[in-house]
Amino acid sequence: MRIPLRWLADYVDLMLPTEELARRLTTAGVEVGAIISSAGDWAGVTVAEVVDIKPHPDAERLVLVAVRLGDDRTQTVVCGAPNVAVGQRVAFGPVGTRYINGHTGERTILKKVKIRGVESAGMIMSEKELGISDEHEGIRVLPEDAPVGEPLASILGETIFDLDLTPNRPDLLSVLGVAREVAALSGSKVRDPSIVYEATGEPIRGRAQVDVLDRELCPRYVAALVEGVKIAESPAWMQQRLIAAGMRPINNVVDITNYVMLEMGQPLHAFDFAGLKDRRIVVRRARRGESLRLLDGMDRELSPEMLVIADGDDAVGVAGVMGGAESEVTEETKTVLLESANFRATSIRRTRQALKVETDASKRFEKGLSVHLPPIAAERAVKLMVEICGGRAAQGLIDITSGKPKDVRVTLTQERLQRVLGVELPSGEVRRVLEGLGFGCRWVPPDRFIVRVPYWRTDVSIADDVVEEIARIVGYDELPTTRLRGEIPPAQRQPMRELRERVRHALAASGLREVITYSLTDLPTLQKVLPPEDLATSPPLRIANPMSREFEYARTTLRGSILQALAKHIRVSGGHLISVFEAGRVYLRSDNDLPHEIETVCAALSGRKPNRWGQPTGEPAGFFEAKAHLEHVLAGLRVAAEYREAVEHPYLSGRTAEVAIDGRRVGLLGELHPRIAASFEIKQDVAMFELDLEALMPHVPETVHYEPVSPYPSVEEDLAIILDEDIPAGRVIGMIEDSHMVRSVSIFDVYTGPPVPKGKKSLAFSISFQSGAKTLTDEEVAEERRRIVQRLRRELGAELRS
Amino acid sequence: MTSVSDPISEIEDAAMRELAVISDATQLEAWRLSYLGRKGKLTRILRGLADLPLEQRRSLGAEANRIKLRLETAHREKLARFEQDRVAQVTEGERLDVTLPGPPLPRGGLHPITRTLQDVLRVFESMGFQVAEGPEIEWDYYNFEALRIPADHPARDMWDTLWIDCEREGRRSMLLRTHTSPNQIRIMERTQPPIRVVVPGKCYRFEATDPTHEWMMTQVEGLAIDDGISMADLKGTLAEFARRIFGEERKVAFRCDYFPFVEPGMELRIDCFICRGAGCRTCGRTGWIEILGAGMVHPEIIANAGYDPDRYTGFAFGLGIERIALLRHGVDDIRHFYANDLRFLQQF
Ligand SMILES: [Zn+2]
């Protein structure tokens, strides 16, 4: 909402400096988003009067204009404007004025020149030259009463508050509404605009008829009649105000309806009375299949949910949204039927959404206007039509309403005020503030106020609403500030969140870079990284109104997002090893319920391993580099995982493992299939792993249980065996660990090639033997070692390597 | 008399003579053992004192102790000199170019939004707030209706919504939550006052992106309900938060604002730490930076939760982590956060 300050000053004295006023309004909840000054760079430009016009001796299109300036000097200007006339007040810029060149649009400084042999003392300026609009056909004519010699800025310049309003305050969509706020904040009084006029016409009853068939959607309909209007341009002051407020002047009648809407906040509509069949207005729902050409020239299909204004036959307007082209006020209009009504807010909102038209009227109606307002606004508009359009007002109004609207009264106790604000306010101050806002306030001893809500404040209905009114005018910053006291509620654990944060920190600490990617993705990306059966059994949720195809589905895996991020990183990495991870949710559809949101982690790395200097070597990082990070995380969680070879899209078979704990899958680890990598424009090896934190969580011990440290020495033994190449080392380790005497075992060599026979490999282990009960003898260790070797031979066909 | 004192002064002279020519720590230790050790010459004399008559014991004892002190001091000094020599020798022999880098460890790190979120949560946790979480895909009911934003309410325009393609009774009812506020309702459904909770999480809006707008964002919702919580407590809590996150010297200011689920509603602003109130691009020339929205929980919502609205009051607030991260790190474009440019992320 644009509020021109000069207009605002009609209703309230502006006693504060502009910036301070804006600050106070903003603090009180009426946010001044911008202070716009419509005055251009008009230094030196003043009001002048055209006193004489003579033809140019040497050019047909040009004239020599004599202008009278402030010091009663007269200067001659060469001018080409067709609309210049003697007696006009015009904007005169002397030599040296900065202006906008009407042809090139560039900022220029006016130089002393001779035009076709005649010297010009300056220029009479067009709107384009002044930087107000693109109008360059003629000069800008100023109001007749503009004092000669005044700086132009004081005539044309407007300071405008551009308000960013909240949807609860439709009353502020009016200059008068803002004036009430200014009055309350600065302790001044509001001057209401006059609604007094003389009705010299016949009574409206019997001349026009209004039938409201749907009282639910139209709680009040007020109609007025003005006869004998002369359609013309509205007066300059009114046009200027409309322009300043951001509206385009049309004609005097339409301008008055807009003016009163901007002034009081009540949308009005003027019908050409002659265009209404049967001289009748019917407020009804649209008929099925009914359509209407609106003022914007477009035909709209209507539906029975929509409320229309009709005449004896057809719809002539969509109630509260837009009038129809048929009944529009034109130059031929003689009699105007003025509509000032109240429509159900939700219905207006639904209708304008369905029709995809948002108007100044619908913006106000959908926020819920006061039912008190229609007759007041109607009388104001009629008064202006009588004064400006030369009309005769019919006597009386048609006012169709379901009973007299009641005042809203709210009881506010001192106790409530103090409970909410944390401070006791003197009853005198409470009254002063509320009355300043137009509320009625009666102190009822010993402890309460009876507050009467002014009709325009449709947003105030309970005690706490009144509390806010008091607080915002006093100023939130003036109220006390305290620390929370009282009991701190008992803690409730968030095990999933705790696990996710532990994993996140461990991954970052192990050298992975965290990324956060969008939760929405597209189907092709999901198809690339998920097995078709997964997509079939758990189809992703689709967004009904996606912003773009790129973000159409809720992701069911992080794989796609992490690969996209990886690809992006690779492009700027110069071959260095890139390692990234994300911890985020995936969304799995559930029937008739919200989707199952599963916390997952996905990591990917790609690039060549660094040498001692951090430079990429020739060796690409792969499966084991990824596994190192995964092992780091799981070890930190005190979880022992098994790795079993797995086949799973989009991983590369033979280089992929399922990560399981106690036989249950908690994740996957592997190298990405090069074809899938290529589909993400990655032309190098990628290793990935992912964890389902929901599956992992039950396996993570809450605490670590201490095991006594054995006081007896351990015996370290190496063991090298030769066995079939396809037996996983993990099985061997498992068997060695089965021995009660083995405290730990680690592998330190894997070897194939001569002298190891083809199809065989050599594995070397370092085993630590220890007992918690005694010092092991060499014989005991040797015996246990033999037992282990025997088992490996028996079950795996392994031979001791000599 | 001399028969006893002579050997002792001889011992002193011999010891000092020997010490002067000792050139390494091993010899020094052998010297220490031979004079001052458990079976050393001086120790033996001191031990033999007990057998002497009182008079002799006194004079000889004093002399022996003096010598012992002298030898000990001389030993300590020599030892210290050896230590110094050793340090100097190593540096001489195996000097390193200390400016060379260490072999690289992989350099990981947390996303700046994760870090900022942690810092914010830590502040509230220290004030007794617990952390909870909620679903990102929500029912219309929790996201809007229960928060006093029914269908066709003009306030719905404050949150442009991404809807899930799924209808219930002919209406879209599932959506990507537009704010973390649905958790106010979810928490009240499952707990009784006193309540002090913060809920972090991702939120989504149907929004075109630009330097200050992103369609996915991370918010933190706060909720405190108890007998006796007032707007003064809300102001105190938020002021404390602002100072802990943006610096002790920050000034805070509150203005009235509107959210359908609070009454009174407010916005917290801090004085611009770039221009210090003079007005610049960051603060839109106002000298103040908007940080978050808040207010007293609407009494209707308190009553709907089954709490006595005359007794229980509370406050709620919602803040955007991206905005706080932008301000703290001086990032000029919110889209950097989820664009995942390595060169951006590596700076954090
Ligand atoms: Zn600033």
Asked about B115 being catalytic, the answer comes back as no
User: Contacts of residue A166 in chain B, CB cutoff 8 Å?
Assistant: 257-258
Quick check: B190 contacting A, CB < 8 Å? no
Distance from CA of A55 to the nearest CA of B (A): 51
Per cent of chain A over pLDDT 90 is 80
Could you tell me which residues come within 8 angstroms of residue A687 by beta carbon, excluding any fewer than 6 positions away?
A604, A605, A606, A621, A622, A623, A625, A626, A669, A670, A671, A672
CA of B328 to the centre of ligand 1 (A): 13
Q: Which of A347, A358, A514 to mutate to test the interface with B (most CBs of B within 10 A)?
A: A514
Q: Which residues partner with B130 through β-bridges?
A: B197
Which of A37-41, A228-232, B194-198, B296-300 has the lowest average pLDDT? A37-41
Give CA torsion, residues A77, A83, A89, A95, to 10 deg: -30
Q: Is the pLDDT of residue A377 over 90?
A: yes
A431 and A514 inside one domain: no
The neighbour count for residue A448, using CB atoms within 10 Å, is 18
Asked about B262 being catalytic, the answer comes back as yes
Q: Which of A496, A516, A562, A617 to mutate to test the interface with B (most CBs of B within 10 A)?
A: A516
Does some domain include residue A569? yes
Domain B112-345 indexed as CATH 3.30.930.10: yes
Domain count, chain A: 6
Q: Do B266 and A476 touch (CB under 8 A)?
A: yes
pLDDT recorded at residue B87: 67
Between residues 192 and 211 of chain B, which touch chain A (CB distance below 8 Å)?
194-196, 202, 204, 206-208
A330 and A389 inside one domain: yes
Q: Do A515 and B103 touch (CB under 8 A)?
A: no
CB B189 within 8 A of CB B166: no
Provide the token pair at A689: 């792993």
**Interface confidence (ipTM) of the complex:** 0.86
Question: Pick the residue with more confidence: B146 or B12?
Answer: B146
pLDDT recorded at residue B318: 97
Q: What is the DSSP string of B20-86?
A: HH--SHHHHHHHHHHHHSTT-HHHHHHHHGGGS-HHHHHHHHHHHHHHHHHHHHHHHHHHHHHHHHH
A325 and A214 inside one domain: yes
pLDDT recorded at residue A5: 95
Between residues 209 and 268 of chain B, which touch chain A (CB distance below 8 Å)?
215-216, 224, 226-233, 235-237, 239-240, 253-258, 260, 263-266
Half-sphere exposure of A207 (CA within 13 A, CB side): 20
Q: Do B108 and A579 touch (CB under 8 A)?
A: yes
CA of B271 to the centre of ligand 1 (A): 8
CA of B332 to the centre of ligand 1 (A): 14
Q: What is the tens place of the pLDDT at every residue in A629-644?
A: 999 999 999 999 999 9
End-of-domain residue from the set A401, A433, A459: A401
CA of B251 to the centre of ligand 1 (A): 13
Give the helix/strand (H/E) hosting A135.
none
A379 and A259 inside one domain: yes
Which of B32, B75, B179, B323 is catalytic? The answer is: B179
Instruction: Indicate which CATH number applies to the domain containing A687.
Output: 3.30.930.10
Quick check: B170 contacting A, CB < 8 Å? no
What does the alpha-carbon distance between residue A510 and residue A517 come to, in Å, rounded to a whole number?
Answer: 21
- Considering only the beta carbons, identify the residue of B208, B233, B264 that sits closest to A468: B264
- Helix A427-436 to helix A463-474 angle, to the nearest 10 degrees? 90
Quick check: B290 contacting A, CB < 8 Å? no
Does some domain include residue A326? yes
Asked about B316 being catalytic, the answer comes back as yes
Question: Pick the residue with more confidence: A237 or B195?
Answer: B195
pLDDT recorded at residue B6: 59
In A368-413, alpha helices (H):
373-388
Q: What is the tens place of the pLDDT at every residue in B26-76?
A: 888 889 888 888 888 888 888 888 788 888 888 888 888 888 888 889 888
- Considering only the beta carbons, identify the residue of A167, A420, A484 that sits closest to B237: A484
Q: Is the pLDDT of residue A268 over 70?
A: yes
CB pairs under 8 A between A and B: 248
What does the alpha-carbon distance between residue A484 and residue A684 come to, in Å, rounded to a whole number?
Answer: 56
Asked about B31 being catalytic, the answer comes back as no
Instruction: Indicate which CATH number applies to the domain containing A414.
Output: 3.30.56.10
Q: Is the pLDDT of residue B1 over 50?
A: no
Quick check: B119 contacting A, CB < 8 Å? no
Quick check: B191 contacting A, CB < 8 Å? yes
pLDDT recorded at residue B89: 65
Q: What's the mean pLDDT in A488-502?
A: 92
Per cent of chain B over pLDDT 70 is 96
Asked about B123 being catalytic, the answer comes back as no
- Considering only the beta carbons, identify the residue of B106, B233, B266 that sits closest to A511: B106
Per cent of chain A over pLDDT 70 is 100
Instruction: Indicate which CATH number applies to the domain containing A77.
Output: 2.40.50.140
- Considering only the beta carbons, identify the residue of B172, B239, B298 that sits closest to A544: B172
A145 and A179 inside one domain: no
CA of B284 to the centre of ligand 1 (A): 7
User: Contacts of residue A488 in chain B, CB cutoff 8 Å?
Assistant: 128, 194, 196
The neighbour count for residue A702, using CB atoms within 10 Å, is 8
pLDDT band at B88; cut points 50, 70, 90: low
Q: Do B104 and A492 touch (CB under 8 A)?
A: no
CA of A375 to the centre of ligand 1 (A): 47
CA of B280 to the centre of ligand 1 (A): 4
Does some domain include residue A201? no
Give the helix/strand (H/E) hosting A296.
none
pLDDT recorded at residue B198: 98
Distance from CA of A297 to the nearest CA of B (A): 27
CA of B289 to the centre of ligand 1 (A): 7
- Considering only the beta carbons, identify the residue of A26, A368, A504 that sits closest to B255: A26
A27 and A176 inside one domain: yes
Give the helix/strand (H/E) hosting A392.
strand A392-393
Cis check for the bond before B104: say yes or no (omega within 30 of 0). no
- Considering only the beta carbons, identify the residue of B111, B130, B163 that sits closest to A491: B130
Secondary structure class of A310 (helix, strand, coil): strand
A56 and A139 inside one domain: yes
Average pLDDT of the residues of chain B: 90
The neighbour count for residue A688, using CB atoms within 10 Å, is 27
Handedness of CA A39, A44, A48, A53 (dihedral sign): negative
Cα A581 from chain centroid (whole Å): 29
User: Contacts of residue B172 in chain A, CB cutoff 8 Å?
Assistant: 544
CA of B347 to the centre of ligand 1 (A): 24
Q: Do B137 and A541 touch (CB under 8 A)?
A: yes
Which of B32, B146, B196, B219 is catalytic? The answer is: B219
pLDDT recorded at residue B4: 45
Which of B159, B269, B288, B297 is catalytic? The answer is: B159
A561 and A603 inside one domain: yes
Question: Pick the residue with more confidence: B229 or A96?
Answer: B229
Distance from CA of B129 to the nearest CA of A (A): 8
Domain of residue A416 covers 408-477
- Considering only the beta carbons, identify the residue of B164, B240, B255 that sits closest to A543: B164
Asked about B219 being catalytic, the answer comes back as yes
What does the alpha-carbon distance between residue B128 and residue A518 come to, in Å, rounded to a whole number?
Answer: 32
Q: What is the tens place of the pLDDT at every residue in A181-233?
A: 999 999 999 999 999 999 999 999 989 999 999 999 999 999 999 999 999 99
CA of B296 to the centre of ligand 1 (A): 29
- Considering only the beta carbons, identify the residue of A494, A516, A579 that sits closest to B132: A494
Closest chain B residue to the Cα of A513, Cα to Cα: B108
Q: Is the pLDDT of residue B5 over 50?
A: no
pLDDT band at B2; cut points 50, 70, 90: very low
A94 and A218 inside one domain: no
Q: Is the pLDDT of residue A697 over 90?
A: yes
The neighbour count for residue A114, using CB atoms within 10 Å, is 9
Q: What is the tens place of the pLDDT at every residue in A308-351?
A: 999 988 999 999 999 888 888 999 999 999 999 999 999 999 99
Q: Taking the domains of chain B in order of start, what are their residue ranges?
A: 8-93, 112-345
Closest to A317 measured CA to CA, from B224, B310, A418, A343: A343
Average pLDDT of the residues of chain A: 93
Q: What is the tens place of the pLDDT at every residue in A407-430?
A: 899 999 999 999 999 999 999 999
Q: What is the tens place of the pLDDT at every residue in A288-313?
A: 999 998 888 888 899 999 999 999 88
Q: Do B139 and A594 touch (CB under 8 A)?
A: yes
Distance from CA of A437 to the nearest CA of B (A): 15
User: Contacts of residue B224 in chain A, CB cutoff 8 Å?
Assistant: 484
A550 and A455 inside one domain: no
Question: Exposed (0-12), middle (13-18) or buried (19+): which is B99, by Cβ within 10 Å?
Answer: exposed
Q: What is the tens place of the pLDDT at every residue in A612-623?
A: 998 999 899 999
Could you tell me which residues come within 8 angstroms of residue A63 by beta carbon, excluding any fewer than 6 positions away?
A53, A54, A55, A56, A78, A79, A80, A84
pLDDT recorded at residue A101: 86
What does the alpha-carbon distance between residue A620 and residue A684 come to, in Å, rounded to a whole number?
Answer: 8
